[in-house]
Amino acid sequence: AAYTVDLPPEVVKRRLHPTFHISLLREHLAGEDSQFPERNLATVLSLGDETFEKSVNEISGYRWSGDKPTFFVNWSDGLTT
The rounded percent of the chain whose pLDDT value lies above 70 is: 70
In whole angstroms, what is the distance from residue 46 CA to residue 43 CA?
5
Question: 41-52, pLDDT tens digit by residue?
Answer: 565 556 666 566
Phi, psi for residue 68 in degrees, rounded to 5 = -120, 130
55: Cβ–Cβ under 8 A, 6 or more apart, which residues?
Answer: 75, 76
In whole angstroms, what is the distance from residue 72 CA to residue 65 CA?
13
- pLDDT, the chain, mean: 80
Q: Is the pTM of this model over 0.75?
A: no
Radius of gyration of the chain (CA): 18
